[in-house]
Amino acid sequence: MMVPKHFSSLRYLIYICITFNLVAAKEEVFNRKFPDDFEFGAATSAYQIEGAWNIDGKGESIWDTYVHRVPSPIKNGDTGDVACDSYYKYKEDVRLAAELGIKLYRFSISWPRVLPTGKSDNISETGLNYYKDLVKEIRKYGMLPVATIYHWDLPQSLYDQGIQWSNVSLIPYIVDYARVVIRNLPDVSYWITINEPKQVCRVGYGSTYLAPGLNSSGLLEYDCAYVLLKSHAAMYRMYKKEFPDYKAPMSIVIDCQWIEALTNSPKDREAAERQRQFECGLYFNPVFNGDWPQVVKDRIAYRSEKANLTKSRLPSFTAEEIEEIKGTHDFLGLNHYYTMLAREEAEEAPFNETSWENDVGTVDSFDPNWVVESNGLFVIVPSGVLKVLRWIKKSYGNQKIIITEIGMSDNGTYLNDQDRIDFYTEYFCNILEAMDEGVDVRVITYWSLMDNFEWTSGYSAHFGIYHVDFKDSNRTRTPKESVGFVQKLARDKKLSCGNPSKYRSVPVALPKWTQIIRFLCGIMALEINNTKIEQQKVL
């Protein structure tokens, strides 16, 4: 029996199609590529790496005071007095960053190092020169300096005078400080006003876990959020007005973890979204829209009224303040680390029990199947970053996003950190998926360049790409295995996605173009089948 020639051709084409589909899927799914103009960076912060806490006229910060409390609130009684000793080793640190092949070096400026009393009438030229030299060194290696103006180290001198985050009297002082550093550091490529306002306010003012540890949940933490957002806006407006020739974009960095509904019930889904608004929207919404999220205003006002208060515990923005805060961003700075589950609280907490948790009205938990970091600090859920990015786009439009921190900690006992390589691979594959969906991510910044003082965890949590030996007075830096991963990704911008991983909680989606190829293959297969039918009719 003769086979029609067109059938032979189709069979040949379908063979090519299937082969190409398999090869293309392997190349595209398992070797994903970031855009050519996509960049990577590494982050640090002043108190966590510099040390030299009382050197060269530096004033004390609230963290200097906090870590020296007795008994110590820090694990193992650790302090940041020496930290990574980067005040003296900054040239080595910048060189190590450059050897990674990354483009951005993020650092923060210590307010009391530049202004020992917190006030601009007492400028430390030595402190300023340290940051001038740091920026110059970063530029020498062709990297872009990303400077954070405030990363938690409020001058103790101001705090002692009641000039702090729960008091609007702080605003002119932080604006003066910002003006000094901006004027003296014209070669900075990106400016960040404040790092992680939620940690400053909810944890620093709403608990004892971070400095100043006031434990005023549901009260001073909302005053703090109000003052902090007004401070951010005031710095941003000052920068745009007084430095029109500076081209460096400015924004705030907000940490946003993913809150997943415990069940698919309407109540739990509503509870999870409410907690997202209290966790992230509390700061995102004013920056983008000028005011608090409506659900946050409603919940706090309701519980305040039921507690017989004459006004809401959440300060209100005036119409003028809304316009002042709205739009104070040139990009969105995002820090992301972990995921939580949330469900609706079984019953409303007593109205006279004031706390952020009672205002939210949810109960948090974690899936026991989620992998926990080797030092037990965070859970690892790579799909969380994808869901956060989707939520941001849905809630606030397609903003230009710089991921300013993302990372995992180890327990410091090993250099072969394959777990970190797997972590970054899975999280970055999820970021690529968000980018496929149109989310405008421009930069990913590793937290952190090196192991450092991790706040109340002290030196027990090791987030670094480089290991630091804190038992060695020289604070020796040693590359971890992840250095090779970072270098290769910075060079090739290719990433292997889809390989088996203990971290994956969702399957990796096939790229759209491979789905089109499969569709065309299906059409060809249908044509072959129709040809067979026609042939049988002839026979």
We report the CATH number of the domain holding residue 243 as 3.20.20.80
Look at residue 12 in the predicted model and tell me its pLDDT: 53
Exactly one of 405, 426, 433, 454 is catalytic; name it. 405
Q: What sign for the dihedral angle of Cα 50, 55, 57, 59?
A: positive
512 vs 208 pLDDT, higher one = 208
pLDDT in tens, 94-122: 999 999 999 999 999 999 999 999 999 99
Q: Is residue 317 part of a domain?
A: yes
Look at residue 537 in the predicted model and tell me its pLDDT: 46
Q: Is residue 49 part of a domain?
A: yes
Contact 304, 291 (CB under 8 A): no
CB 186: neighbour CB atoms within 10 A? 12
Taking 70 as the threshold, does the pLDDT of residue 379 lie above it? yes
Torsion angle of the four alpha carbons 380, 383, 389, 391, in this order, in degrees rounded to the nearest 10: -110
Helix (H) / strand (E) element for 215: namely none
Percent of the chain with pLDDT over 70: 87
Binned at pLDDT 50, 70 and 90, residue 375 comes out as confident
Taking 60 as the threshold, does the pLDDT of residue 522 lie above it? no
Q: What angle do CA 224, 230, 231 make, to 5 degrees?
A: 85
Taking 50 as the threshold, does the pLDDT of residue 6 lie above it? no
Contact 274, 361 (CB under 8 A): yes
Q: Is residue 25 part of a domain?
A: no
pLDDT in tens, 216-237: 999 999 999 999 999 999 999 9
Q: What is the DSSP string of 62-123?
A: HHHHHHT-SS-SSGGG--SSSTT-HHHHHHHHHHHHHHTT-SEEEEE--HHHHSTTSSTTS-
- Say how many residues make up the chain: 539
Look at residue 510 in the predicted model and tell me its pLDDT: 45
Contacts of 299 (CB under 8 A, 6+ apart): 274, 278, 359, 360, 361
Structure tokens at 448: 């952190």
Binned at pLDDT 50, 70 and 90, residue 524 comes out as low
Q: Is residue 23 part of a domain?
A: no
Taking 60 as the threshold, does the pLDDT of residue 485 lie above it? yes
Look at residue 9 in the predicted model and tell me its pLDDT: 53
Look at residue 16 in the predicted model and tell me its pLDDT: 53
Taking 90 as the threshold, does the pLDDT of residue 21 lie above it? no
Percent of the chain with pLDDT over 90: 86
C-alpha 90 chain-centroid distance? 24
Q: Which residues pair with 150 in a beta bridge?
A: 194
Taking 80 as the threshold, does the pLDDT of residue 1 lie above it? no
Lowest mean pLDDT among 3-7, 19-23, 133-137: 3-7
Contact 60, 156 (CB under 8 A): yes
Most confident residue range from 29-43, 149-163, 488-502 = 149-163
Q: What is the DSSP string of 165-213?
A: TTSGGGHHHHHHHHHHHHHH-TT-SEEEEEE-HHIIIIITTTSSSSTT-
Exactly one of 196, 321, 344, 433 is catalytic; name it. 196
Helix (H) / strand (E) element for 302: namely helix 294-306
Q: Is residue 2 part of a domain?
A: no
Binned at pLDDT 50, 70 and 90, residue 503 comes out as confident
51 vs 528 pLDDT, higher one = 51
Q: Is residue 508 part of a domain?
A: no
Binned at pLDDT 50, 70 and 90, residue 508 comes out as very low
Kindly report the backbone phi and psi dihedral angles of residue 253, in degrees, each rounded to the nearest multiple of 5, phi listed first: -110, 125
pTM of the model: 0.89
Average pLDDT over all residues of the chain:
92
Binned at pLDDT 50, 70 and 90, residue 523 comes out as low
What is the rounded average pLDDT of the residues 402-412? 98
Look at residue 538 in the predicted model and tell me its pLDDT: 45
Q: Is residue 270 part of a domain?
A: yes
Contact 42, 148 (CB under 8 A): no
Q: Is residue 510 part of a domain?
A: no
Counting the structural domains of the chain, the total is: 1
Taking 50 as the threshold, does the pLDDT of residue 149 lie above it? yes
Q: Which domain holds residue 216?
A: 32-495
Structure tokens at 60: 């004390």
> Catalytic residue at 196?
yes
